[in-house]
RNA sequence: GGGCGGAUAGCUCAGUUGGCUAGAGCGCCUGCUUUACACGCAGGAAGUCGCAGGUUCGAGUCCUGCUCCGCCCA
């Protein structure tokens, strides 16, 4: 074996091997419990970032863990066509060639997108493989593939037939750059520095009229009223009268409406029903006409007369300039507002009335709420339930049509002759209403999230009643970031219940977002994004995975830490070398039966600690505490198995070749290493498989071995206590040596004064370990010193006094000072303890257990203090 | 405006039902080529657990208020 672990020599080969043997293939198997995770499908044009790496690490861990626990574990991979995002990417590529999608035409453009999709898809799946994902590639799906398209079609038609999908003209969010309508969720509000323009609308007779305040002066061209609050004393007399809309010279009424905020601006609101949702409502209440002044390209319409054709922002400047010139611009204030922006291109969206397809959400939201009310779906962490619930309780209808080319076409045909709609599962050749063959399919496509909403069941074969759907659905756990609870999780739950009749998963384990080492959001534009590929190149996939696991906290954002990568990489190497050590010493192994073997203290101790660790890992994984599970393994492997057991094991390993002790130790090392590897495997699949293959075993892959379980019969409280005492002795001797900077190779003589014979015989039985681990030559033991050594440094702990005999002479003054420092520390603790025990409330109210523990503590403090004082006395008399 | 999360060692974070002499990794200091590992070993320094109150025998942990940071919704 190499002296250091070389991930790059291992990972590709191991992954290939897994694929060859079908290690991750899952089948319908009624003898086993199903466990299923469907991957949140990455956008097919995106690049996998740290968030994906985190997500895949979690899901792979859960899947491998369950697979080893005997579940039929399916992790189903796939990618998302990501309608608008992908179309934008390809349009940007075309733009570099000086082309637009219209230059190519719909068919060629879509063909081009498919081509780009293939390239990106390869990169994405390559990266997934590098991460070590144990997905069943045979079952990989794509939201636009044939089966899923059929699911989309079925879902749409079903909802249409149920009246839950309808077409209508409503005010929607329009992105002038993308040229499509958007759902409310795809609009982001971002604080921006803007202005508040105060514009005077004079009366027809030249009277002063009213002053309105607006953040969007260009929309005034479409004003059809001014609204004031009915109780507003300033404007009471104006209500019902008219003013002249400047620039357009249109006479518009002043109406009274409760919606108006008297505190805002002048308390008078210009009403533009065509370009603001609130204004639209006011307009409807007062039967105001609607004048469309901004078109779908963000340009001014013919209705704006001289401004027609101007871009909305050019128009804004022009309108302001013209108003100023006419003396109608009263003032301009700085103002912070939050204009809506397109999630994909950051363009300020334009609210406008448009005919679109909608999903009626109220009935579906009720289903979504029922899912959590009936505890069919559990959120982890639980607090997200509230977020989910509140969104569903206040939901608006979902605009699902997009004026894009990349996506699922809306399965509706319009009849040129009778004007009716035909919505069908199979492409119709004629109108169902009048049988005319002059029918045209709706040119629009569906919101990409419509197909995503079906993902957990469409990937399993729905609408067909496949065995997979029957067996794996509902899936076990969904593991998305909390940022897509609304976009995705809620919609999957609603659609799953509504269309399949059951919730799509029973648990939603949400993870946070990955931030850079300064806590900033990672983004390509800011240049602070960390590329998982680079991390895996540098540290290996296992190290990255372990580091991510260590950083995962429940639903909290994860701050990327390069230090963690180094630490995790080092742990890989530690594991590698510990294994190297064990394997090197296993060549002549003849296993013994542990039940009948003579076990040493260290043997009993490590078996007990090992068993405890397994129980802890199980407990933490059950609670989705992945970091704590990883920590339990890490601490045990490094701090106990390597630092103590392996060191002590060397004594027997390097002794007599045929001794039974050697065989016993070999057996234990083998058993423990095998279990350690299996325990860590879900966290670090590559290195554990690589090492496991070198163990003397005949299995095919570690990924299909049973997951180790805590063995109750290995628990040994006595061994743990005794070992703890032994560790104290060794640690104290080492500390004394370090105090004197005695070189590690130089053996020292030690005297231990122990409180009782029991302790003496325990330490005596561990002489070899002490000699080896603390480099001790002569070890003297006694319950009381016949003659206290005066040429020695001493330490006191757990009722024992440990003397390190010096080769030279002791600096008595220094030693006294050192002991006094120790006494000071102990005195503080003693005082606290005494305080507690003198408090009658504590004695009466605290549980007996806590009180007696406190008494023991105090006794130990007293005992140790006494020893330290004795030592000082001794040294003082010696110095005189 | 409503809601949620965070604030613990220099940095990144654990600390699950209150009992803690508050832990880990990295960093820092001292010593060490000890036959698995210098990606290592041994030893060590380092925190009034955001602030102010309260409940309790006992609070990093529970309650109230506040400050700052971040996020979501309007």
Tell me if residue A174 falls in helix, strand or coil.
strand
Mean of pLDDT values over A793-818? 80
| Dist CA A276 CA A171 (whole Å) | 8
DSSP string, A828-880: HHHHHHHHHHH-HHHHHHS-HHHHHHHHHHHHHHHHHHHHHHHHHHHHHHHH-
Element (H, E) at A277: helix A277-285
| Dist CA A9 CA A15 (whole Å) | 12
Mean of pLDDT values over A232-244? 83
Q: A483: which nucleotide lies closest, measuring CA to C1'? A: B72
Mean pLDDT score of chain A: 88
> What is the 3 state secondary structure string of A331-396?
EEEEEEECCEEECCCCCECEEEEEEEEEECHHHHHHHHHHHHHCCCCEEECCCHHHHHHHHHHCCC
pLDDT digits (tens, 9 = 90+) for A15-72: 999 999 999 999 999 999 999 999 999 988 878 888 899 999 999 999 999 999 999 9
C-alpha A464: how far from its chain's center?
Answer: 33
Find, among A240, A229, A224, the residue nearest to A292 by Cα.
A224
pLDDT digits (tens, 9 = 90+) for A421-452: 999 999 999 888 888 888 999 999 999 999 99
Tell me if residue A428 falls in helix, strand or coil.
coil
Mean of pLDDT values over A76-93? 90
Q: How far is the CA of A789 from the C1' of B29 (A)?
A: 31
Q: A646: which nucleotide lies closest, measuring CA to C1'? A: B36
Find, among A454, A430, A582, A506, the residue nearest to A158 by Cα.
A454
pLDDT digits (tens, 9 = 90+) for A712-747: 899 998 999 899 999 999 999 998 888 877 777 788
Number of other CB atoms surrounding residue A766 within 10 Å: 22
H helix intervals, A491-635: 491-495, 532-539, 541-551, 562-584, 601-622, 626-634
Q: Would you say A733 and A770 are in contact if contact means Cβ atoms under 8 Å apart?
A: yes
**pLDDT value of residue A791:** 77
Band (A524; pLDDT cuts 50, 70, 90): confident
Number of other CB atoms surrounding residue A103 within 10 Å: 11
Q: Give the ipTM of the model, two decimals please.
A: 0.94
Q: How far is the CA of A694 from the C1' of B35 (A)?
A: 22
Find, among A121, A123, A117, the residue nearest to A532 by Cα.
A123
Q: Say which residues have a Cβ less than 8 Å from residue A746's Cβ, sequence separation at least 6.
A: A775, A807
Nucleotides of B under 7 A from a protein CB: 3-6, 11-16, 19, 21, 24-27, 30-32, 34-44, 56-58, 70-74
DSSP string, A85-109: HHHHHHHHHHHHTT--HHHH-HHHH
C-alpha A249: how far from its chain's center?
Answer: 57
**pLDDT value of residue A879:** 65
Q: A567: which nucleotide lies closest, measuring CA to C1'? A: B25
A71 or A833, greater pLDDT: A71
Band (A853; pLDDT cuts 50, 70, 90): confident
Mean of pLDDT values over A139-162? 94
| Dist CA A164 CA A365 (whole Å) | 12
Q: Which residue is nearest to nucleotide B72 (CA to C1')?
A: A387
Eight-class DSSP state of A707? P
Tell me if residue A576 falls in helix, strand or coil.
helix
Mode of pairing for the β-strands spanning A268-271 and A225-228:
antiparallel
Q: Which residue is nearest to nucleotide B70 (CA to C1')?
A: A519
Alpha-carbon distance values, A9 to A101, A307, A685, A686, A718 (Å): 45, 67, 14, 11, 44
Mode of pairing for the β-strands spanning A558-559 and A514-515:
parallel
Band (A786; pLDDT cuts 50, 70, 90): low
Sign of the dihedral defined by the CA atoms of residues A844, A847, A850, A855, in that order: positive
Q: A519: which nucleotide lies closest, measuring CA to C1'? A: B70
Q: How far is the CA of A519 from the C1' of B67 (A)?
A: 21
Q: How far is the CA of A635 from the C1' of B24 (A)?
A: 9
Backbone angles phi, psi at A479, to 5 degrees: -130, 70
Mean of pLDDT values over A507-532? 81
H helix intervals, A681-811: 685-693, 717-739, 757-765, 767-774
Helix A626-634, helix A660-680: angle, nearest 10: 160
pLDDT reading at A555 higher than 70:
no
**pLDDT value of residue A788:** 66
Q: How far is the CA of A822 from the C1' of B19 (A)?
A: 25
Q: Say which residues have a Cβ less than 8 Å from residue A77's Cβ, sequence separation at least 6.
A: A39, A125, A128, A133, A135, A136, A137, A139, A140, A141
Mean of pLDDT values over A359-365? 93
Phi-psi region of A540 (alpha: psi -120 to 50; beta: other; left: phi over 0): left
| Dist CA A380 CA A386 (whole Å) | 12
Q: How far is the CA of A445 from the C1' of B46 (A)?
A: 61
Of chain A, the percentage scoring pLDDT greater than 70 comes to: 99
Q: Which residue is nearest to nucleotide B36 (CA to C1')?
A: A581
pLDDT reading at A171 higher than 90:
no
Band (A673; pLDDT cuts 50, 70, 90): very high
Q: How far is the CA of A312 from the C1' of B59 (A)?
A: 60
Kindly report which listed range (A301-310, A371-380, A636-645) carries the lowest average pLDDT score. A301-310
Mean of pLDDT values over A816-820? 83
Six token digits for residue A414? 């319009």
Six token digits for residue A860? 């130990």
Eight-class DSSP state of A349? P
Alpha-carbon distance values, A790 to A402, A812, A869 (Å): 90, 9, 14
Find, among A165, A130, A141, the residue nearest to A56 by Cα.
A130
| Dist CA A231 CA A258 (whole Å) | 8
Q: How far is the CA of A338 from the C1' of B69 (A)?
A: 21
Sign of the dihedral defined by the CA atoms of residues A600, A602, A607, A608, in that order: positive
């Amino acid at each position: 074996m190499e002296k250091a672990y070389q991930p790059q020599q291992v990972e590709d080969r191991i992954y290939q091997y897994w694929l060859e043997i079908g290690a991750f293939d899952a089948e319908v198997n009624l003898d086993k419990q199903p466990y299923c995770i469907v991957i949140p499908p990455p956008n097919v044009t995106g690049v996998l970032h740290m968030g994906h790496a985190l997500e895949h690490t979690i899901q792979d861990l859960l899947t491998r863990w369950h697979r080893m626990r005997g579940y039929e574990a399916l992790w189903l991979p796939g990618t998302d066509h990501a309608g608008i995002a992908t179309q934008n990417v390809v349009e940007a590529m075309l733009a570099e060639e000086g082309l637009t999608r219209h230059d190519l035409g719909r068919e060629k453009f879509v063909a081009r997108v498919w081509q780009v999709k293939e390239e990106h898809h390869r990169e994405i799946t390559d990266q997934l493989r590098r991460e070590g994902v144990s997905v069943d590639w045979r079952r990989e799906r794509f939201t636009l593939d044939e089966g899923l398209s059929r699911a989309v079609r079925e879902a749409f038609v079903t909802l249409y037939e149920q009246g839950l999908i309808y077409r209508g003209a409503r005010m929607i969010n329009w992105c002038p750059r993308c040229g499509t309508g958007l759902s409310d969720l795809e609009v982001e509000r971002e604080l921006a520095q803007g202005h508040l323009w105060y514009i005077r609308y004079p009366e027809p007779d030249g009277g002063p009229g009213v002053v309105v305040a607006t953040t969007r002066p260009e929309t005034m061209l479409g004003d059809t009223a001014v609204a004031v609050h009915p109780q507003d004393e300033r404007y009471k007399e104006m209500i019902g009268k008219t003013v002249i809309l400047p620039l357009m010279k249109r006479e518009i009424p002043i109406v009274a409406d409760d919606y108006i905020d008297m505190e805002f601006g002048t308390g008078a609101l210009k009403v533009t029903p065509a370009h603001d949702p609130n204004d639209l409502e006011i307009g409807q209440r007062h039967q105001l006409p609607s004048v469309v002044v901004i078109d779908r390209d963000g340009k001014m319409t013919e209705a704006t007369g001289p401004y027609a054709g101007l871009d909305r922002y050019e128009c804004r400047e022009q309108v302001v300039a013209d108003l100023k010139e006419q003396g109608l611009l009263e003032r301009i204030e700085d103002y912070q507002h939050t204009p809506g922006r397109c999630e994909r291109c950051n363009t300020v969206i334009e609210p406008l009335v448009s005919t679109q397809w909608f999903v009626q959400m109220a009935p579906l939201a009720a289903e979504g709420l029922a899912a959590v009310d009936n505890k069919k779906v559990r959120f982890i962490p639980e607090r997200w339930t509230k977020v989910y619930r509140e969104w569903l309780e206040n939901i608006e209808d979902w605009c699902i049509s997009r004026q894009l080319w990349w996506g699922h076409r809306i399965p509706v045909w319009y009849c040129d002759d009778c004007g009716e709609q035909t919505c069908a599962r199979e492409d119709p050749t004629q109108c169902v209403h009048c049988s005319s063959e002059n029918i045209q399919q709706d040119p629009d496509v569906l919101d990409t999230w419509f197909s995503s909403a079906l993902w957990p069941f469409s990937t399993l074969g729905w609408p067909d009643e496949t065995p997979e759907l029957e067996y794996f659905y509902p899936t076990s756990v969904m593991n998305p970031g909390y940022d897509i609870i609304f976009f995705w999780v809620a919609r999957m739950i609603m659609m799953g219940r509504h269309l399949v009749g059951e919730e799509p998963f029973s648990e939603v384990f949400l993870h946070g977002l990955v931030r850079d080492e300064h806590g900033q959001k990672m983004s390509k534009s800011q240049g602070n994004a960390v590329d998982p590929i680079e991390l895996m190149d540098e540290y290996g996939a296992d190290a990255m995975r372990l580091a991510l696991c260590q950083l995962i906290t429940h639903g909290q954002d994860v701050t990327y830490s390069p230090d963690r990568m180094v630490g995790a990489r080092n742990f890989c190497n530690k594991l590698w070398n510990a294994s190297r050590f064990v394997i090197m010493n296993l060549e002549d192994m003849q296993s013994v039966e542990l039940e009948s073997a003579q076990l040493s203290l260290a043997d009993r101790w490590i078996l007990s600690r090992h068993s405890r660790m397994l129980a802890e890992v199980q407990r933490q994984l059950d609670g989705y505490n992945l970091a704590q599970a990883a920590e339990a393994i890490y601490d045990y492997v490094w701090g106990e198995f390597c630092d103590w057991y392996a060191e002590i094991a060397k004594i027997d390993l390097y002794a007599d070749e045929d001794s039974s002790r050697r065989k016993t130790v070999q057996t234990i090392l083998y058993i423990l290493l095998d279990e350690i590897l299996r325990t860590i495997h879900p966290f670090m699949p590559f290195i554990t498989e690589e090492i496991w293959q070198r163990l003397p075993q005949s299995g095919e892959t570690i990924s299909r071995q049973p997951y180790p379980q805590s063995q109750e019969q290995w628990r040994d409280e006595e061994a743990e206590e005794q070992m703890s005492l032994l560790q104290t002795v060794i640690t104290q001797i080492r500390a004394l040596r370090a105090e004197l900077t005695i070189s590690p190779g130089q053996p020292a003589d030690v005297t231990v004064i122990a409180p009782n014979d029991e302790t003496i015989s325990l330490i005596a039985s561990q002489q070899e370990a002490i000699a080896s681990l603390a480099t001790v030559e002569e070890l003297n033991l006694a319950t009381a010193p016949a003659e206290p050594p005066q040429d020695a440094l001493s330490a006191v702990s757990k009722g024992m006094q440990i003397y390190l005999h010096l080769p030279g002479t002791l600096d008595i003054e220094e030693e006294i000072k050192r002991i006094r420092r120790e006494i000071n520390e102990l005195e503080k603790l003693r005082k606290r303890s005494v305080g507690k025990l003198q408090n009658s409330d504590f004695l009466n109210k605290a549980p007996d257990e806590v009180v007696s523990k406190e008494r023991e503590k105090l006794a130990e403090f007293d005992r140790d203090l006494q020893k330290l004082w004795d030592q000082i006395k001794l040294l003082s008399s010696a110095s005189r």
